């Protein structure tokens, strides 16, 4: 792992190739899984305040779910997550004519109909933020890569186009940690690539 500022970043984040290709995967990360996406309390509150603008575009079952339990709930691990329909579909997941899933919140934000955007955990995926604790009890934020089989097409496209995971997720990483932090991450990545290349030449 690499220490960027006070954040621990998994080596996979700068080594792995990744670039979403939703035309192939159909955006399955929005409708697969056994729990909703992690969401902060303030994000849940902001979404709740914007429900009057969201309701006209939401599916009937999604609206019923929100009316029954709200926009979020606590999963088995005690983490606040977005509510889901049929134990898998995000309440804000929609499909276009080609059957590709998209986020209703993000769509309406792009159309300037709402000011909020999709939750940070969705924006960052497949990066996940964790809390790591040292032997001394000090806690740090961890940035880790959640490798899921449904993202195989993204790994292939990333490798083909030479796009690393941290590069593909530049915008959400800056949203989370700031531009200076991202610049330090990028510099660390470039130094790491040079080091690995030198090691490779030494072996051969």
How far apart are the C-alpha atoms of 169 and 192, rounded to whole Å? 18
8 Å CB contact between 39 and 180: no
Full DSSP string of 8-50: EE-HHHHHSB----HHHHTTGGGT-SSSPPB--HHHHHHHHHT
The pLDDT confidence band at residue 201, using thresholds 50, 70 and 90, is: low
8 Å CB contact between 183 and 171: no
Full DSSP string of 79-98: -EEE-EETTTEETTEEE-TT
- What are phi and psi for residue 154, nearest 5 degrees? -70, -35
- Which of 12-21, 85-94, 194-203 is the least confident region? 194-203
Condensed to tens digits (0 to 9), the pLDDT of residues 36-70 reads 889 999 999 999 999 999 999 999 999 999 999 99
CA distances, 136 to each of 7, 8, 10, 132, 133 (Å): 16, 16, 21, 11, 8
3-state secondary structure of 100: coil
Condensed to tens digits (0 to 9), the pLDDT of residues 123-173 reads 999 999 998 877 677 888 999 999 888 889 899 999 999 999 999 999 999
The pLDDT confidence band at residue 203, using thresholds 50, 70 and 90, is: low
**pTM value?**
0.86
């Amino acid at each position: 792992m690499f220490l960027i500022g006070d954040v621990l970043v998994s080596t996979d984040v700068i080594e792995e190739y990744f670039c979403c290709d939703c035309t192939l995967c159909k955006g399955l990360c929005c409708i697969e899984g056994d729990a909703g996406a992690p969401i902060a309390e303030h994000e849940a509150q902001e979404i709740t305040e914007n429900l009057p603008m969201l309701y006209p575009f939401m599916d009937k079952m999604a609206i019923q779910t929100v009316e029954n339990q709200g926009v979020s709930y606590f999963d088995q691990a005690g983490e606040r997550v977005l509510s889901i329909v049929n134990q898998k579909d995000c309440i804000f997941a929609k499909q276009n004519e080609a059957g590709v899933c998209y986020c209703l919140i993000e769509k309406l934000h792009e159309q300037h109909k709402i000011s909020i955007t999709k939750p940070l955990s969705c924006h960052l995926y497949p990066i996940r933020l964790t809390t790591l604790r040292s032997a001394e009890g000090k806690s740090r934020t961890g940035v880790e890569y959640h490798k899921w089989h449904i993202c195989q097409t993204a790994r292939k496209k990333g490798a083909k186009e030479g796009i690393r995971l941290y590069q593909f997720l530049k915008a959400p990483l800056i949203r989370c940690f700031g531009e200076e932090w991202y610049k330090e991450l990028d510099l660390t990545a470039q130094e790491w690539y040079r080091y690995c290349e030198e090691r490779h030449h030494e072996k051969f």
